[in-house]
């Protein structure tokens, strides 16, 4: 049964560890329906892990993730499969199938998850590609695409079935400024056109804050700040200020935790 509350996703006191590495130490956040929400943080902060917990690829050590009124880790395989059919995912590296064309990459989820006739799939694929400006690329193979084009094809595949939720994992990484700005605008425009909900996980501050309605900043396994783009830009929190303004010195350390350097050297006795 679907929950019609204002939040599509609710995360409460979420804890998760990879072995002895405690990545999430009590995350609390909500994603309202129809909004674009950013999850910001340095590499290794656990942003992509949150997406895996939302999609049910991982199970929390404690706490819960609720999607559309259902607790994800309480679902059986059938329930998970049903839930994932209403989700779209744009992976960090695009995740296109390298041995099939652009057209077949977009058609793949339609063929696998629906009983649509090939003629209707054809029209839908061209509609999705047209939405990202690549209708003319349908016969190309993924290795014939530029980095920006591949990201746009991945975006078209993520929205192939008009999902209620689209998750973007580092959608701006490795893009030139023009492609980056274009992808950011597409995320905003497609979310509004489809009436969906989007989560953008990234460390790219400038583009993200241009397109999101609300954002969370994660550091040290917890949410240290949240708010509208203007609120985050003016946050008094030292770690947020350092991250937003790309300052080298501050509470967000460059070095992974370690012993004093001299203790690792083999000094002559």
**Residue 23 Cα distances to 40, 129, 141, 212, angstroms:** 15, 37, 38, 25
pLDDT at 205 over 50: yes
pLDDT at 1: 43
pLDDT at 33 over 90: yes
**Those residues with Cβ within 8 angstroms of residue 79's Cβ, 6 or more apart along the chain or in another chain:** 70
How confident is the model over 2-22, as pLDDT tens digits? 556 799 999 999 999 998 889
| Separation CA 4–CA 122 (nearest Å) | 33
Q: 3-class DSSP state for residue 66?
A: strand
Of 211 and 261, which is predicted with more confidence?
211
* 1-86+163-230 CATH fold: Rossmann fold (3.40.50)
Which residue carries 């605008």 as its tokens?
185
In the chain, domain spans = 1-86+163-230, 101-155
Query: pLDDT tier at 37 (50, 70, 90 boundaries)?
Result: very high
| Separation CA 231–CA 63 (nearest Å) | 27
- Specify the range with the lowest mean pLDDT, choosing from 55-69, 172-186, 255-269: 255-269
C-alpha Rg value of the chain to the nearest Å? 20
| Separation CA 9–CA 192 (nearest Å) | 18
């Amino acid at each position: 049964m679907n929950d019609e509350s204002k939040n599509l996703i609710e995360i409460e006191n979420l804890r998760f560890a990879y072995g002895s590495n405690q990545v999430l130490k009590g995350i609390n956040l909500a994603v309202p329906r129809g909004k674009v929400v950013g999850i910001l943080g340095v590499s290794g902060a656990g942003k992509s892990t949150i997406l895996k917990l939302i999609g049910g690829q991982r199970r929390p050590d404690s706490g819960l993730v609720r999607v559309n009124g259902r607790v994800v880790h309480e679902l059986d395989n059938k329930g998970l499969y049903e839930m994932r059919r209403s989700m779209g995912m744009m992976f960090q590296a695009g995740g296109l199938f390298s041995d099939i064309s652009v057209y077949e990459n977009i058609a793949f989820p339609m063929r696998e998850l629906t009983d649509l006739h090939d003629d209707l799939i054809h029209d839908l694929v061209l509609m999705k590609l047209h939405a990202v400006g690549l209708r003319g690329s349908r016969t190309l193979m993924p290795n014939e695409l530029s980095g920006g084009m591949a990201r746009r094809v991945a975006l078209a595949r993520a929205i192939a079935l008009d999902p209620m939720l689209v998750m973007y994992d580092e959608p701006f990484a490795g893009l030139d400024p023009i492609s980056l700005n274009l992808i950011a605008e597409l995320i905003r425009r497609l979310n509004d056109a489809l009436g969906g909900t989007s989560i953008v996980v990234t460390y790219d501050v400038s583009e993200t804050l241009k397109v999101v309605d609300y954002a969370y900043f994660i550091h040290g396994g917890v949410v240290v700040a949240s708010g509208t783009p203007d609120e985050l830009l003016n946050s008094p929190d030292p770690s947020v200020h350092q991250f937003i303004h790309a300052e080298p010195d501050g509470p967000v350390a460059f070095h992974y935790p370690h012993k004093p350097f001299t203790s690792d050297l083999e000094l002559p006795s």
